[in-house]
Amino acid sequence: MKIKTVCEATGLSDRAIRYYIDENLVAPACTENYLGRRSFDFTEADVETLNSVSMLRKYGFSVSEIRTMIQHPDRISETTQTLIARKKEHAAAEAEMIWKLESVDAANAESISALADALFVAQLPAPDANAAIPTSKRVFRILLHILLVAHTLAPVLIGLIVLNWSFHETRFPVISPIAIILVLVFLTPSVLMAILPRVKKNLEWKRTACIVLSFLILLSVPLVAICSIGVISYSATHDYHHYLVLDEGLPVGLEKKFYAFFPRKFDTHFDDVIGGGERVVLGEYYYRNLPALDYTYDVYAEYPVSREELDSEILRISALFEDWSSKYSVYVNTHHGAYQCLIWYYARTEPFLPVDDSYTYFIFAYNEETLRVRYILCDSLENGYDQPYYLELDWNE
């Protein structure tokens, strides 16, 4: 039987039949003329084989798989199961593609790039019961999507949590513009990741940008947390109406000493009313708390007193410091500038010298001529990072 007749009988083209012959799927008798052209003579068995090959090809068997089954009939079942598994996998992928195609707004796609971008951001699997994606893959993709969202929002959430904590911990927050700028800079990768799906660029560019931004977001998480802590650089006020109002965090033992040292009866001595109802500020007040890795507290109050009040305070503070004295602390009565100073301190550095270690200074200073008193607390665990505030005061006035 000639090849033309076989083509009519099988519906295969001349080229397809010759290809199957070259792939050893069928082996008809062959003669070759002097020009090198081959001529085939097919038997009924050859035609049946070609029909079988044609049917198997329609179902997706590869040429190599058909050749394996012809040469090794015992592997027909194994090869068929392999094809079934491959078909199922392809069916799941096709179902997902169909769902993605149906979910995008193709009518508003202005170009193939826009259509490709819309398909790229369609992340969720198709809810097709007939050709559903395996449960494990669906769960994995959902978790991956959640992780991507959490990954993008993590720096923002951490920054908000830290800022909320800082505002609750400080009563008189002083904002650092530099820290705010740094927080915004380190949040930039998250912002870019959020708007990336809306950018009309080619798919490959988006994938690269997504990888780079993910890496930058991971780096930004600790940086945002650190800079958010620094947004409120410290707590401070000069308003005497906040006299003796403290932030949280002062150790209990020190807090008791603080309220025993600073007198409440002098609250009204900061200002006075003169003729005409004008209020004149007579005293000074400064409060500062640096809640860094440890803490630094500075509280300073100065105001005028009467001679009787001064004498009473000298006796009170002297008795208080003597009561506090122990083998770990020092109590001195010394003169500095225009002030006589009663000082109780717990530090390796003597008063009025720069420090290089942790310190606690309670200072009661008074000027006999002007009848002004100073109450000072300087306490720090920053190991000399911050110098006590009283060193900044003018002691010769």
> Structure tokens of 241?
């109406």
Q: How far is CA 15 from CA 18, 22, 168, in A?
A: 5, 11, 82
Selection from 32, 36, 38, 35 nearest residue 17 by Cα: 38
Same domain, 358 and 264: yes
Domain contains 345: yes
* CATH number for the domain that contains residue 16: 1.10.1660.10
Domain contains 22: yes
User: For the segment 329-339, what is each residue's pLDDT rounded down to a tens digit?
Assistant: 899 999 999 99
Query: Residue 45 sits in which domain range?
Result: 3-71
For the chain, first and last CA: distance in Å? Answer: 126
Partner residues linked to 359 by β-bridges: 380
Same domain, 295 and 360: yes
Domain contains 28: yes
How confident is the model at residue 186, as a pLDDT? Answer: 83
How confident is the model at residue 127, as a pLDDT? Answer: 44
Burial of 136 (0-12, 13-18, 19+ CB in 10 A): exposed
Final residue in a domain of this structure, among 52, 71, 90: 71
Q: Measured on CA atoms in the order 151, 156, 159, 163, is the torsion positive or negative?
A: negative
Same domain, 265 and 177: no
Domain contains 117: no
- Specify whether the CB–CB gap between 325 and 362 falls below 8 A: no
Residue 351 CB neighbour total at 10 angstroms: 20
Same domain, 357 and 286: yes
Bigger pLDDT: 268 vs 79: 79
Same domain, 254 and 372: yes
User: For the segment 24-81, what is each residue's pLDDT rounded down to a tens digit?
Assistant: 899 898 888 767 778 888 899 998 999 998 888 888 889 999 999 989 989 989 989 9
pLDDT tier, 131 (very low <50, low <70, confident <90, very high otherwise) = very low
Count CA atoms closer than 13 A to 215's CA, side-chain side: 5
Same domain, 221 and 245: no
Domain contains 291: yes
Q: Tell me how many domains the chain contains.
A: 3
Same domain, 218 and 290: no
pLDDT at 126 over 50: no
Final residue in a domain of this structure, among 38, 54, 71: 71
Residue type present at position 278: E
Same domain, 362 and 287: yes
Domain contains 93: no
Same domain, 265 and 337: yes
Domain contains 102: no
Contacts of 7-11 with CB under 8 Å at 24 or more apart are 9/47, 10/47, 10/50, 10/51, 10/54, 11/54
User: For the segment 208-257, what is each residue's pLDDT rounded down to a tens digit?
Assistant: 777 788 888 888 878 887 777 777 778 889 888 888 888 876 777 788 88
Same domain, 258 and 303: yes
Selection from 244, 220, 249, 223 nearest residue 234 by Cα: 249
Bigger pLDDT: 327 vs 70: 70
How confident is the model at residue 279, as a pLDDT? Answer: 54
Same domain, 259 and 344: yes
Domain contains 94: no
Final residue in a domain of this structure, among 175, 198, 233: 233
Same domain, 213 and 140: yes
